[in-house]
Amino acid sequence: MKGTIKILTILGIKLEMHITFLILPIFFWFMYGMKGIFIICAIFTCVAAHELMHSVVAKNYGIKVDKIILLPIGGIANMRSNPKTPMQEFMISIAGPLFNIILALVLYFPLKIVLGSYSLSHPSLITWSGTMAYAYWINPILAGFNLLPAFPMDGGRILRSLLAIKFSYLKATKIAVGFGHLFALIFAFIALTSQPPNLILLLIALFVFMAASQEQSVASLKSTLNNIKVLDVLPENVYSVNPQTTMSDVLNQMLHSNQEDFPVVTDEGRITGFLPREKIILTVQNKELDKKVYEIMLVDFPTATSSEFLGSAYSKMESTHLKALPVIDNEGILKGIITLENVSRVYSLFARKQRK
């Protein structure tokens, strides 16, 4: 996501803040002074810890997490792939709210002693004791709000994981998305009927509705692709390049064919590297067309097999941000190449056929 500022790296995960998040400290400073800044720091810490717990559990299941981005309406953990089972999704989703609940329970009695029962139960930004109480209640409120069964919030993902035990992943997603749309409409109604209108809640409602709709589209895509094998859509013609080929020759091949990504194959026919379109474009921009392919190519890259389902191949491209994958046989011999364009074309055809 563009417009982010890196804060720090923790457990190998980058913590970034979107520049729009800066709206909050400016607003709260204007309204409440240093107490406002303290509250924003508390919100920042609670949301970051919440997302970090999701990420730690996800990494435990082998899911790569690049970064956590903090936005004015919450945080997003950028996971490279989806959980493989409903139980994995349940554990990842529950981790964030569970952390906030446990932290609230741990801090309750110490803060009750320090602040007193009245101050703890009456948060306010007028006094510092009330401000600390306000900061304390961020955790249970954050947990409770996220546990609402409104996809894409944690509660919606928990609901889907439980439904997926009995129903198909697509049907479970549709039900969870339906709840997400319902809650989005409720949020919007409350936001618009409040005096004055609650713009932040309205923004959350819009985000929930759009994210839920997008998740249903992705689930529908993967459901369709999981019924089609790579072999069924593998293009007949594929161009490969040799490690010693110059990048100027690769560019010429790219311009005279419909292929933008090239497997790198030895004289024996074994694939030894992969040259994605992004690398070719970067080479042109840097005016390095005299370089050889072996100097530019990827040596660590995923592959697909012809017997693999398209859903699996798509997930590999999604997790590595590649737009194509070499297809090989069991002995490592190149059989072809599958691209995002192939996947998109196949899905469009099948989706159109299902609507008829």
- As annotated, the active-site residues are 51
d(CA 90, CA 80): 17
Burial of 292 (0-12, 13-18, 19+ CB in 10 A): middle
Which residues are CB-neighbours of 34 under 8 A, at least 6 positions away? none
Let me know: does 50 contact 96? Beta carbons within 8 Å: yes
Beta-bridge partners for 298: 274
Neighbours of 342 (CB within 10 A): 20
Cα(351)–Cα(353) distance, rounded to whole angstroms? 5
Residue pointed to by tokens 């049907």: 171
Q: At what angle do helices 310-320 and 199-225 cross, to 10 degrees?
A: 140
Paired tokens of 52? 């970090």
What is the number of H-type helices and E-type strands within the chain? 14, 9
What tokens does 144 get? 């409770």
Q: Which pair of structure tokens corresponds to residue 270?
A: 């074994």
The residues with which 304 forms a beta bridge, in sequence order, are 327
* Strand pairing class (304-305; 324-328): parallel
Find tokens 């529908």 and name the residue: 220
Please classify residue 109 by burial: count the beta carbons closer than 10 Å to its beta carbon, then call 0-12 exposed, 13-18 middle and 19+ buried. exposed
CA 226 to chain centre: 20
- Please name the residues in contact with 338: beta carbons below 8 A apart, sequence gap of 6 or more: 230, 233, 234, 304, 310, 313, 324, 325, 327
